[in-house]
């Protein structure tokens, strides 16, 4: 990675981006990259101390960022997230819907109903609600972009991530459906499907050598991704470089099996 230049001048200059679940992992890396590319970013997550720490890091690098607590399943938090972006930066152009929960491990039909509901509430319903609620703001700007973060398991379910996999497949459908509906409003809707990215969320895949060896067998590039490797893809998808791309999912998996 060290000889790859991940930074580009100011292709998102002036854009206002709201990123959910962005105080750590993939969300933070995406927020950082978009801010590096010139955007004003609003980071958010459930815990205030995490929001403060993420903001400290971003501002410490001279990036334009604000932050607010937002649990994506809470309507009042989502409203505050968007109103903060408008108050601080004057509007919203881009939503990155990144939050997910996976409170269980096991096959899909062994998932408890209450756990299923939780997974779908955070992973799918919140993405749908955030998109619905951000629309008036993006429309006011004359167009913009929405990006969902799905997963490789949305294409190829993992039997230890049963219900989670199905929720991620549903996001692929939400991407297509919303993209069709919003194309005439000049709003593009796309999706990123990461493989295994080294974050806290994926730690069971690398917490010991044998788990990591098993995971690596499925990755042709023979390594897990770094969170920042999702940032450039997000930046591309919400920039004018992707002006004719909508309803698309980009798999970022080091070659793991997904679709033809």
Site residues (CB under 6 A) for ligand NAP?
Answer: 20-21, 23-27, 45-47, 50, 70-73, 98-100, 122, 149, 151, 194, 196-197, 199-202
Closest CB to ligand NAP among residues 161, 179: 161
Q: What is the number of the residue whose Cβ is closest to ligand NAP?
A: 25
Closest CB to ligand NAP among residues 139, 198: 198
Longest dimension (CA), the chain: 52
Q: Roughly how many angstroms between the first and final C-alpha of the chain, as a whole number? A: 27
Nearest to residue 202, comparing CAs of 181, 177, 227, 178?
227
Closest CB to ligand NAP among residues 139, 206: 206
Q: Least distance in Å: CB of 26 to ligand NAP?
A: 3
Nearest to residue 79, comparing CAs of 150, 27, 129?
129
Q: Least distance in Å: CB of 103 to ligand NAP?
A: 10
Helix H or strand E encompassing 24 = none
- The span from the CA of 105 to the CA of 3, in Å, is 37
Q: Least distance in Å: CB of 32 to ligand NAP?
A: 12
* 78: three-class secondary structure by DSSP: helix
Q: Least distance in Å: CB of 21 to ligand NAP?
A: 3
Closest CB to ligand NAP among residues 142, 220: 220
- Kindly report each contact of residues 128-132 with a partner whose C-beta sits within 8 Å and lies 24 or more positions away, as own/partner: 128/174, 129/75, 129/78, 130/20, 130/72, 130/78, 130/95, 130/97, 131/95, 131/97, 131/174, 131/178, 131/189
**Over the Cα atoms of the chain, what is R_g?**
17
> Backbone phi, then psi, for 25, in 5-degree steps?
55, -140
Q: Least distance in Å: CB of 142 to ligand NAP?
A: 28
Q: Least distance in Å: CB of 41 to ligand NAP?
A: 14
Closest CB to ligand NAP among residues 46, 88: 46
Closest CB to ligand NAP among residues 35, 149: 149
Yes or no: say if 73 and 49 are a contact pair by the CB < 8 Å rule.
no
Query: Alpha-carbon torsion 36, 42, 46, 50, what sign?
Result: positive
**144 beta partners:** 187
Please give the positions annotated as active site.
Answer: 164
């Amino acid at each position: 990675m060290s000889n790859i230049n991940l930074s580009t001048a100011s292709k998102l200059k002036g854009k206002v981006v709201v990123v959910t679940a962005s105080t750590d992992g993939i969300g933070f890396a995406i927020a950082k990259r978009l801010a590096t590319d010139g955007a004003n970013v609003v980071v958010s997550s459930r815990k205030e101390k995490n929001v403060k720490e993420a903001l400290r890091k971003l501002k410490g690098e001279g990036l334009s960022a604000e932050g607010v607590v937002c649990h994506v399943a809470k309507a009042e938090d989502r409203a505050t997230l968007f109103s903060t972006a408008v108050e601080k930066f004057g509007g919203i152009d881009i939503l990155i819907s990144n939050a997910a929960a996976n409170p269980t491990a096991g096959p899909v039909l062994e998932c408890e109903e209450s756990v299923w509901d939780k997974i779908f509430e955070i992973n799918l319903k919140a993405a749908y609600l955030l998109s619905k609620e951000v629309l008036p703001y993006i429309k006011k700007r004359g167009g913009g972009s929405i990006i969902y973060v799905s997963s490789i398991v949305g294409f190829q379910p993992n039997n230890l991530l049963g219900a989670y996999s199905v929720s991620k497949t549903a996001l692929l459908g939400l991407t297509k459906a919303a993209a069709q509906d919003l194309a005439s409003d000049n709003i593009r809707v796309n999706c990123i499907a990461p493989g295994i990215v080294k974050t806290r969320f994926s730690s069971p895949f690398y917490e010991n050598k044998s788990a990591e060896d098993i995971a690596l067998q499925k990755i042709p590039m023979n390594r897990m991704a770094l969170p920042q490797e999702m940032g450039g893809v997000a930046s591309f998808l919400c920039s004018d470089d992707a002006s004719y791309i909508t309803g698309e999912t980009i798999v970022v998996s080091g070659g793991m099996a997904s679709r033809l």
